Amino acid sequence: MDLSPSTPLIATLREFASVLVTSVVNFHVNLGGVFMLKYPALFSPINIGGVMLKNRVVMAPMAVNYAHLNGEVSERQIAYYEARARGGAGLIIVEAACIDAPAGREGFGQIIIDHPRYLRGLNQLADGIKSYGSKAIIQLFHAGRQAHTIITGVQPVAPSAIACSTVKDVPRELSLTEIRDIRDKFIAAAGYAYMAGFDGVELHAAHGYLINQFLSPNSNMRQDEYGGSLENRARLLMEIVIGIKKSFPKLVLDVRLNIEDFVTGGLEMAESLEICRYLEEAGADLINCSCGTYESGLTSIEPASYNEGWRTYMAAAVKQVVKIPVITGGMVKSPEMAEEIIEKQQADMVFLGRALLADSDWAFKAEKGHDEEIRPCIICNNCIESNFKSIAVSCTVNPATGREREVIKTAKIKKKSSAVVVGGGPAGMQAALALEDYGFEVELFEQGERLGGLLNLAAIPPHKERIALFRDYLIKCIRRSGVSVNLNHPYKLEYLKDQYPDHLVIASGSRPIAPTFKGWNENNCLQVDDILSGRFNIEGQQVVIIGGGSNGCETADFLTQSANRITIVEKEQFLAADMEKKNRRDLLNRLQAAGVKRYTSSNVVEIGNNTVNITSSNSQQEVLVADYIIAATGYQPNNEIYLKAQKQHASVHLIGDAFVVGGIREAIRQGENLAAMLAQREYSSIWE
């Protein structure tokens, strides 16, 4: 019998075997039968440096400031990471841990990994992650010149004494001895990670921190062997890589590298690709592609206007020059995008940052193909804003982030209590869902024809589409839940005569504040809601917007799309001062590009039919002519029903904008917390 590979039998067997292998990878078997994975590439295993990952979903390192002030890992932190491991991510990269405190520290709640005293907490963390089947890597970090003296108490250090233009603290140039000392501290930190039970370490060589400062020609002006040529600038990184590989060969060694700094004179792709070749040769197991520095502003943690997966080209280029696995990510939110990247072999793994803050179960839901159950991140960037303020990170849409041990609803209330929720905005919907989860019988009344409240308007301006996704997510959750919904149905207190619920939750939202300017009337001035709701369509007109907070500026952004010429008048010194910094910068750039005129520190004196008289910042009187005048003067609580209900019911609760006008985060949190509080009261009454 001829068994040469070309015979049909062997060829058929080979084909069969390859189909079988693909099937094992692409099908998941459960007791109910066999089902096809919707995202087979993303949920295929991969070997990194001898460690097998169950899938290619990587949790990006994100500093959340949950560590104790002394740098020890906290219980809160362990619970937060365990939730993401339980949620199915194949690899978890624990946030930037400082290898040299205090000089290299970035935040008060940052993990420190420069002494054996931290091993106990680090070990609990690694164990916790691994106990759910994920692999655990920890990021090793030194802030260099991006450290703030106010946090560290010492002058920052850097390759050269050049200040980062955003931090502004002038750093001290490191001596050769100090550079070698830092190199050894990175290697020692890898040793602590190994002892603590981590599968690997990631060197933070990105985002403008110390190693990146050495690599980047715009921050490294050294004349010695650590500066000048690319080989010299990469020397510190290579010495650390070689040192770790030699001392701890079993540790997976990952390097997070800026492929582009996006600053003038910074690291560019041609040099980064060369560094990737050096890294592979020196023994690195994995390259995690990133970009941007503090100075580049928007690129390392993007505002909402960036396209999903926009950075993928960088990883695709790296894959052309190395054979070791490559990670990409940044603005990857959907399983479709992650799958496409892997399937097209543009990268081997995909990291998710904010998407996993918004939903710890992202991987698990994507694996089941239940994409619609994923709670969408709205790219509000409140999380990174908290990080920069050195306070604990929370997530606008996910009230459980950072409170994983508090927000659990496994204990249901024992007797069937009832709650009526008045108002179907974010606070009302979240309260209804959480109450129902705890076991309450919930009825929701919404006076409008659809749920969503102010989310419906907030989703209209450019790049706010993800707010609509979040609204739709909440609505789908309500539909799937047992909450009974009454639309077009204002709640009346007379209903209490026939149906007296145990709890009455008022989430009746807010309404625009009527302006009090001299000359203002409803005929000569519209409000932001008139525009965003579509009641008025304005095209190609001269428009003056009074009020340059986020509402006014976003309305201006919306109106520029239909060729309107906009002027904003704001009494404070800055526009959109209430907004998160990255989205604000992005919005102001767009307004500037669209030619929006601005009068800040300016007050409205009087409104006419087509004129707005103002006193500008230099105390000059000016008359602005307008086809349309729009007031963006804020919102006030809509809480009349609460004041009346208090006299008729013993358990009435006010949440969301109806309580204090705030943002989505406050609304969601108050809805969730109220439910927890009422459930707690039910438990207590059972024990009494």
Ligand X SMILES: Cc1cc2nc3c(=O)[nH]c(=O)nc-3n(C[C@H](O)[C@H](O)[C@H](O)COP(=O)(O)O)c2cc1C
Task: Please identify, among the stretches 163-171, 379-387, 442-450, 471-479, the one whose residues bind ligand X according to the rule CB under 6 A.
Answer: 379-387
DSSP state letters, 33-86: EEEE-SSTTTTS-EEETTEEESSSEEEPP-----S-TTS---HHHHHHHHHHHH
Tokens of 620: 């000059």
Nearest to 109 by CA among 77, 78, 155: 77
C-beta closer to ligand X: residue 330 or 423: 330
383 in contact with ligand SF4 (CB under 6 A): yes
User: Is position 666 an interface residue for ligand X (rule: CB under 6 A)?
Assistant: no
Q: Which does residue 196 bind out of ligand SF4, ligand X, none, counting CB within 5 to 8 angstroms by kind?
A: none
Q: Which of residues 293-332 bind ligand X (CB under 6 A)?
A: 301, 329-332
Query: Should residue 327 be labelled a site residue for ligand SF4 when binding is judged by CB under 6 A?
Result: no
489, with CB counted inside 10 A (0-12, 13-18, 19+), is middle
Per rule CB under 6 A, is residue 332 in the interface with ligand SF4?
A: no
One character per residue 393-412, x = contact with ligand X (rule: CB under 6 A): x-------------------
Q: What is the DSSP letter of 171?
A: P
Q: What is the DSSP string of 580-624?
A: -HHHHHHHHHHHHHTT-EEE-S-EEEEE-SSEEEEE-TTS-EEEE
256 lies in the site for ligand X, by CB under 6 A:
yes
Is the link from the previous residue into 40 a cis peptide, with omega within 30 of 0?
A: no
Q: Which stretch binds ligand X (CB under 6 A): 218-226, 234-242, 349-357, 586-594?
A: 349-357
Segment 130-149, which members bind ligand X (CB under 6 A)?
139
Residues 6 or more apart from 204 whose CB is under 8 A from it?
61, 96, 139, 140, 141, 142, 211, 212, 256
Query: Which pair of tokens denotes residue 128?
Result: 């916790």
358 binds ligand SF4 (CB under 6 A): yes
Query: Looking at 42, 58, 62, 98, which residue binds ligand X (CB under 6 A)?
Result: 62
Measured in whole angstroms, how far is the alpha carbon of residue 141 from the centre of its chain?
20
In angstroms, rounded to a whole number, what is the distance separating the alpha carbons of residues 327 and 291? 13
Does residue 354 bind ligand SF4 (CB under 6 A)?
Answer: yes
Amino acid at 389: K
Judged by CB under 6 A, the residue of 37, 51, 63, 507 near ligand X is 63
Nearer to ligand SF4, 296 or 382 (CB): 382
* SS3 per residue for 366-406: HHHCCHHHCCCCCCCCHHHHHHHCCCCCCCCCCCCCCCCCC
For residue 467, state whether it binds ligand SF4 (rule: CB under 6 A).
Answer: no
**Contact of residue 378 among ligand X, ligand SF4, none (CB under 5-8 Å per partner type):** ligand SF4
Residue 387 near which of ligand SF4, ligand X, none (CB within 5-8 Å, type-dependent): ligand X
Check binding of 110 to ligand SF4 (CB under 6 A).
no
The verdict on 525 binding ligand X (CB under 6 A) reads no
CB contact at 8 A, 444 and 478: yes
Q: How far apart are CA 285 and CA 530, in angstroms?
A: 56
Q: Which stretch binds ligand SF4 (CB under 6 A): 378-386, 432-440, 452-460, 568-576?
A: 378-386
Stretch that binds ligand X, among 380-388, 402-410, 447-455, 552-560 (CB under 6 A): 380-388
Catalytic residue flag (residue 80): no
Q: How far is the CB of 548 from ligand SF4 (least distance, A)?
A: 23
Marked catalytic residue, from 209, 438, 473, 599? 209
Give the residue closest to ligand X by C-beta: 353
Angle (nearest 5°) at CA 400 between 113 and 440: 155
Q: What is the footprint of ligand SF4 within residues 395-414 (CB under 6 A)?
A: 395-397
Measured CA to CA, the distance from residue 474 to residue 460 in angstroms comes to 17
Per DSSP, the three-state class of 637 is strand
Size of the site for ligand X (CB under 6 A): 25
* CA–CA distance, 379 with 463 (Å, rounded to integer): 9
Instruction: Give the interface segment with ligand X, choosing from 204-212, 481-489, 529-537, 623-631 (CB under 6 A).
Output: 204-212
Stretch that binds ligand X, among 346-354, 446-454, 469-477, 586-594 (CB under 6 A): 346-354
Closest CA to 629 of 483, 477, 524, 479: 524
Q: Which residues bind ligand SF4 (CB under 6 A)?
A: 354, 357-358, 377-383, 395-397
The catalytic site residues sit at 209
Q: Which residues bind ligand X (CB under 6 A)?
A: 60-63, 95-96, 139, 204, 206-207, 256, 290, 301, 329-332, 352-355, 383-384, 387, 393
